[in-house]
Amino acid sequence: MKLHFGFVPIVIISSKQAAEEVLKTHDLDCCSRPETVATKKISYNFKDIGFAPYGEEWRSLRKLAVMELLNLKKLNSFRYIREEENDLFVKKLSEASKKHSPVNLTKSLFTFIASIVCRLAFGQNLHESEFIDEDGMEELASRSEKLQGEFAFSNYFPGGLLNLIYFFDWVLPEGTTVKDIDMDEEGALIIGKKVPLELVPMRQH
C-alpha cells in the first residue's frame, strides 16, 4: 500500500512476500534512514554514522567504528567504567527505596547512560566536571529527541529488565492512587505523557 504524508511517499509493507522483497531482495535500496530537516541539522548534513545514507562513506565509518571503538579489547578495557556507573545507579535506587522516595526513571536512566558516555568519550565524570553542564546536556538531548520524534525508553528497556538489575518492585508514591495519575498527552511525532510518571523502587525480599 502506498500513502502520501504531505509530499512524502510512504510504502506500507503488509505481507510476508513484500517484506522479503524489502528486507532481503532490495535490502540495499531500502536500508538508509529517511532524511529529515531535524536529522540533517543534528548530524551535520548526514555526516555521522547514525544518519549517513548507505554507501562507501557509511561503510568506511562502520569499519572504523568496529575496528577502533567496538572491538573486544577496547570494550573490555572500559568494562570497569560501566560496572562503576551501574553500581552507582543501583545504589541510588536502593537509597530511594529505603526512603520511599519517588524516582523519575527518565531522568535517572538518562544520567546513567550520559555518565558512561562522558567517561568513555571525554575521560571526565559527568557529576564532577567543571566543563560539562549536566542539566544543559539533558535539555539539549530532550530537544533533539523531540525534533526527531520522541524516544520511548520503555520500548528498549521494559520494566521487567529493570527488576533484574537489583530485584526492585515499582509502586506509586505514598498517598497516590491510579486515579491521581495525570494522563495528559504531549503532542509530537510520537504521543507521550505530558507529566513524567514517578515510581518508588521497592526492594524485593
In the chain, the number of structural domains is: 2
Residues of the chain with pLDDT > 70, as a percent, come to 67
Q: Are residues 148 and 83 in the same domain?
A: yes
DSSP track, 107-176: HHHHHHHHHHHHHHHHSS-TTT-SS--HHHHHHHHHHHHHHH----GGGTS-HHHHHHHH-EEEEPPTT-
What was the pLDDT predicted at 197?
66
What was the pLDDT predicted at 152?
42
* pTM, rounded to two decimals: 0.54
CA separation for the pair 183, 196 (Å, rounded): 10
Does any domain span residue 4? no
What is the domain extent for residue 60? 16-73
Q: Are residues 96 and 190 in the same domain?
A: yes
Does any domain span residue 10? no
- Identify the segments of the chain with pLDDT beneath 50: 151-152, 154-156, 158, 164, 188-190
Q: Are residues 198 and 108 in the same domain?
A: yes
Helix, strand, coil percent values for the chain (each to nearest 5): 55, 10, 35
What was the pLDDT predicted at 80?
92
Does any domain span residue 181? yes
What was the pLDDT predicted at 87?
92
What was the pLDDT predicted at 83?
92
CA distances to 30, 161, 169, 188 from 98, in Å: 50, 21, 13, 36
What was the pLDDT predicted at 70?
83
Q: Are residues 87 and 186 in the same domain?
A: yes
Does any domain span residue 2? no
Q: Are residues 91 and 142 in the same domain?
A: yes
What was the pLDDT predicted at 98?
87
What was the pLDDT predicted at 84?
92
What was the pLDDT predicted at 182?
65
What was the pLDDT predicted at 189?
45
Q: Are residues 97 and 193 in the same domain?
A: yes
